[in-house]
Amino acid sequence: CKEISEVGGHISLIMKAADNKGGNVGSIIFDFPKRISKKLKSLISMVFYDCVLEEVGDEVNDNNISKKNLRGYIIILLKVLGLQQKLDKDSID
For residue 68, pLDDT over 50 is answered with yes
pLDDT one-digit tens code per residue, 3-46: 555 556 666 666 666 666 766 666 666 666 666 666 666 666 65
Domain range summary for the chain, segments of one domain joined by +:
2-87
Length of the chain: 93
- Top-confidence residue, 53 or 85: 85
The dihedral sign for the CA sequence 20, 71, 29, 77: negative
Q: What is the pTM of this model?
A: 0.33
pLDDT given at position 70: 59
Distance CA 6, CA 36 (A): 14
